[in-house]
Copies of this chain bind each other. A is one copy, B any other.
């Protein structure tokens, strides 16, 4: 039976050790990935329209993830009376995609290559951004591996087509996703207040099949009703912009928007998704540690990711 890590020599407290994601093994050689989950950093932030710094998101989320790494043989949750992420779930940290300053297209291509490597290895790709534009190469990597339904948790619709020539900034990813053949639809949750997407973007999103719900609309509907709006049987790709959360718990992001989701609102949605849908991929973006002096945002990102991974593999 699975042994606790601290029974085999090291106590391995959270503050010790190299900060890979969840202290998982670091696997820089992507040709030999052998894992259930492959975590990839995508430290790209030239796509931001206000505060930069999401390039340090991967390092911050990795560091925060060590808080949840007590070396147990899985994470026991007394509310669910379940043990998540036991030793049978093999996580590896791929390190980061190579980013080339001033060059958006090359950087994005490198991210796509990393996601493709994870998929080729049969692992669930988990990409830590970086700004939300890194979702563009993530979705692109699923070409020929779909269909997928994109569930987005975000303050902003990110549905700008092209403006001043920009097609691959952090205001564009959902438009780019909706254009893909292998994307069957979008559920866009948490959308609120003004952003770079103007009215025509909302019109286009709805025309292209998006289901758009604000935080208050999600609250009025309730978790179950929201889950029911996701097409049954669909394979879900989750893109989680940390600014979908309320700035009270996620201030460390480039474009915060008040009125966002609280922790359990998102957690219970994700638990529902994990129970009802296969999950093909995940990206979590826009953690900008320079605006997170308490570390609260990085901890939120790590806590949500680890719980979602737990739910997914518990459901498998």
Contact = CB atoms under 8 A, between A and B. Distances in A.
Contacts of A67: 50, 255
Contacts of A147: none
A198 B100 CA distance: 17
A47 interface: yes
Count copies of this chain in the complex. Answer: 6
A249 B255 contact: no
A148 to B, nearest CB: 24
Given A246-B248, A247-B296, A194 B72 contact: yes
A164 B100 contact: yes
Interface size class of A (residues with CB under 8 A): 35 or more
A180 interface: no
Given A15-B43, A16-B99, A249-B258, 18 more contacts: A4-B198, A11-B163, A13-B50, A13-B101, A14-B49, A15-B99, A16-B41, A18-B26, A46-B102, A47-B101, A72-B198, A78-B212, A252-B294, A257-B303, A258-B304, A290-B290, A291-B293, A292-B294
A215 to B, nearest CB: 8
A163 B76 contact: no
Contacts of A68: 193-194
Contact of A53 (B16, B62, B290): B290
Interface string A63-91: 10011101011011111000100000000
11 contacts: A13-B49, A14-B255, A17-B96, A18-B20, A52-B53, A100-B164, A101-B170, A247-B294, A258-B299, A290-B290, A293-B294
Contacts of A102: 46-47, 104, 133, 166, 168-169
Interface stretch (A120-128, A232-240, A259-267): A259-267
A201 to B, nearest CB: 9
Contacts of A166: 11, 100-103
A216 B53 contact: no
A59 interface: yes
A296 B79 contact: no
A41 B12 CA distance: 13
